Structure 1
Amino acid sequence: MAIMTIATLHCYQCDHDFPLNMYQPIEKISCPYCDTDVDQSMIEPIRNAWAQVSGLNQTFHKHEMESEEPRFGLNVHDEEVHLDIDDIDNETE
């Protein structure tokens, strides 16, 4: 069994998610729904973050195969949450 780490990017311009193929060189990333471009300076950090998660999940898989221990996998996502400080900032305006 092979492990593939799939990166998904969320576009806040149109509120859609789309997958990225990180297994080939990426020179430009654009949202396929609204055609908004990701800033060129963000491509390398995206690749680095994906490589870290991918490497960790490969290590989890290898550990399970070699030691017959329970297997884990890391999936990362962000959520916007409301904080009390948001209310304070709005009250002072």
Structure 2
Amino acid sequence: MVWGRTEEGEQVPKEARVVFQPGAVWPEADVHADSCELVIVIDGTLEDENGTYPRGTRISAQRGTSHHPRSSGGCTLRVLYPDVVEVQRPAPPVAEGGA
């Protein structure tokens, strides 16, 4: 998982790998409050009230929308949140002295 921050400074995911086991249902409405969302179905099939999305499908959801994702047979997703600003990671330490 790669973390980022919203415009308000809240720490949220920028990208994630999500695995739905067979029969899994997202526990509540998945609301896209902080960013639009791009989902790529890597394996299996994702379902929601709008349709069924097999392996290879790209799904785009606009900021402010919601859905209720589930997967009857299980699936693996790559989820990207393009509106989230990536957190800068600190630079690695520089060795002191000469080589």
TM-score range, shorter chain: under 0.3
Q: Larger % of helix: which?
A: 1
**TM-score, length-scaled by structure 1:** 0.25
Q: Is the radius of gyration larger for structure 1 or structure 2? A: 1
**TM-score, length-scaled by structure 2:** 0.24
**Greater relative contact order (Cα < 8 A, sep 6+):** 2
